[in-house]
A and B are shown apart, each in its own frame.
Chain A
Amino acid sequence: MGYKISLDDMNLALEELSKDYMIYAPKVFEGEGKFSDTDLIRYGEVEGLEEIVFDEKSDYSFKEALTPISEVLFYFTEDEIKEADKPDRGALIFLRSCDLHSLKRLDEIYLNNGYEDYYYKRLRENTKFILMGCQKSFENCFCVSMGTNKIDSYDSYIKLEGDTVYIDNKCEDLDKVFRKADIQEVDVKPDFVEENDIKVSIPDNLSLDVMDAKMWEEYASRCIACGRCNFVCPTCTCFTMQDVYYTDNGKVGERRRVWASCHVDGYTDMAGGHSYRKDNGQRMRFKTLHKVYDYNKRFGYHMCTGCGRCDDICPEYISFSNCVNRLEDAMKEVE
């Protein structure tokens, strides 16, 4: 159902929705960018539509709304364990097509791969997704190659043009709220990009044998194992358990899970001191193959959604898309 409403009415609708939902969208965090005097665009709660950054890519993805960077699972005392409460409101998340495709990857791991994740599910089932269009491809994007440039499984599509908001709505709950405004029915189709400057091709014959190719040696000398690529990735889901206890009462504390990175030291450390993939190049190989090879082998579609944030964030200017495009030659080398 397509319609248009005024920005003021839209903000009134958001105000009403904020009683039941935390409204997450990409917004500007001044001065927090990766270089001095630059801004950072990441997800945070917004009150009005004009706060949302529509015309630039966010440095971080929406995933922290569903998989918090640090999430308390339960509190413990000497005798008792108490499950952490869930937020008292659901979430309304503004995101682009590639990120909405990423949601399917998060669901796959947290809901379908083995056991169902209790904490993810209780956030997920109270979340609605609002699609933001892409009028142009941003730097480093390769969504078209990954087939994630278009999507129709959104609750609502929202586009801001001057003081007018165009909506393509598919959600009854949202429809009730939007209709309180003076709406005018129009045909609204989301903006999707059809082409990116960057294209990737994943060789059909890709196999684990590629781990023996020489290309990883280069990454061994360039990658500094900072893990930023994992943290900006909308599809990276790994976490590590962390117990903390309170300094004023050492018998009371909490167990959390915190984001983990397969690039960062310690990821494979076992009790007794053994660890795997000490070489940063092989860590790059492990991540790359997960994104464009072994996840597909397990679940039938690629994990990477081509958002290009890993390329945007890397302090060593390592390009993931370029790495993927080198796999074909690397396979020739090892075959």
Chain B
Amino acid sequence: MGKNEYIPFKSEIKEVIKHTDIEYTFRMTYEGDVKPGQFFEVSIPKYGEAPISVSGIGDGTVDLTIRRVGKVTNEIFEHYVGDTMLLRGPYGNGFDLDLYKGKEIIVIAGGTGLSPVKGIVDYFHANPDEANSFTLIAGFKSVNDIIFKDDIERWKENMNVVITVDKDADKTCKLGLVTAHIPDLVIKNIENTVAIVVGPQIMMDCSVEELFQLGVIEENIWISQERKMCCGIGKCGHCKIDDVYICLDGPVFNYTKGKLLRD
């Protein structure tokens, strides 16, 4: 008899990092292989499960950045350092970093869309020689909604980082949408340029359009999707779009496939 994938395992909260009033990162104990862009089902008995993407990978830990927006995530916020939570996963394909090594890399993220790509940024921040160049453009509603502030300051040391807000910019960020900053990107070799775009659908659509204008081809663009999921393992059906199961075949898609996903 195979493994019962529905039974969650216990994971201890090592650290809670507060970004905003409604967005915290929970650093959880986890031993095993995991990739940026994969997700765990966080399981809170009585309240249910929520798919949460991995926002950081440490030695024996994974970071789960959680936005307090539903009945499960509300309950997660009642947990503190030393408590345990139940997890199952990791699920999904995640980002394949090998596809980006040696390239000019552009990462464009909207809001909590920064979570699933944060592992990529962390990796190339730690291994700058493995990328030809690295640009992060991340957009938020306001200065108060910016997540991973300390990380962003750290990334600025050796990466081109542009932070945008929709209103009331301060000295750490610029005013406007992420798309406004794509045409200004300085690219040496467009054929050796890859882009990763994660955020709300409209933001991804508009960003991809700007990337096309620059000359980035769709084969070199990746996006990540999110949908309702009850199982994470290709059974419950909620995340299916056309012949694609977001939980199994995604959530990361090359744009040649990702553009075909119409609910």
Contact = CB atoms under 8 A, between A and B. Distances in A.
Given A76-B45, A83-B4, A118-B1, A109 B235 contact: yes
A294 B7 contact: no
Interface string B239-262: 010110101100000000000101
Interface stretch (B46-54, B101-109, B142-150): B46-54
A110 B235 contact: yes
B237 A237 contact: yes
A192 interface: no
Contacts of A290: 240
Which of B3, B234, B260 has the most A CB atoms < 10 Å from its CB? B234
A238 B238 contact: yes
B79 interface: no
Interface in A74-95: 74, 76, 81, 83
Interface in B57-101: 67, 69-73, 86
A138 interface: no
Given A83-B7, A113-B245, A243-B48, A208 B234 contact: no
A35 interface: no
B183 interface: no
Contacts of A275: 228
B5 A118 contact: yes
Contacts of B72: 271
A118 B235 CA distance: 11
B188 to A, nearest CB: 38
Contacts of A268: 227-228, 238, 263
B69 A271 contact: yes
* Interface range for A: 35 or more
B233 interface: yes
Contact of B7 (A74, A113, A262): A74
Interface in B166-224: none
B2 interface: yes
A257 interface: yes
A176 interface: no
A127 B227 CA distance: 34
B262 A208 contact: yes
Interface in B27-64: 45-50
B73 A271 contact: yes
Contacts of B245: 113-114
A113 B262 contact: no
B128 interface: no
* Interface range for B: 35 or more
A116 interface: yes
Which of A260, A271, A290 has the most B CB atoms < 10 Å from its CB? A271
B91 to A, nearest CB: 9
Given A73-B6, A268-B238, A243 B1 contact: no
Interface in A297-330: 297-298
Interface in B97-149: none
A28 interface: no
B64 to A, nearest CB: 14
B226 interface: yes
B231 interface: yes
A170 interface: no
A277 B247 CA distance: 19
Interface in A17-68: none
A118 B6 contact: yes
Interface of A: 73-74, 76, 81, 83, 109-110, 113-119, 121-122, 208, 211, 237-243, 245, 250, 253, 255, 257, 260, 262, 267-273, 275-277, 286, 289-290, 294-295, 297-298
Given A238-B236, A241-B48, A260-B238, 5 more contacts: A118-B2, A118-B5, A257-B230, A270-B228, A272-B70
**9 residue pairs, one from A and one from B, having the closest CB atoms:** A271-B70, A114-B234, A238-B237, A276-B263, A115-B233, A294-B243, A118-B4, A76-B45, A272-B69
27 contacts: A81-B8, A81-B45, A83-B7, A110-B235, A114-B234, A114-B247, A114-B248, A115-B5, A116-B2, A118-B6, A208-B242, A211-B262, A239-B230, A241-B230, A241-B236, A243-B45, A243-B47, A255-B6, A255-B45, A260-B237, A268-B227, A268-B228, A270-B228, A271-B72, A275-B228, A297-B243, A298-B243
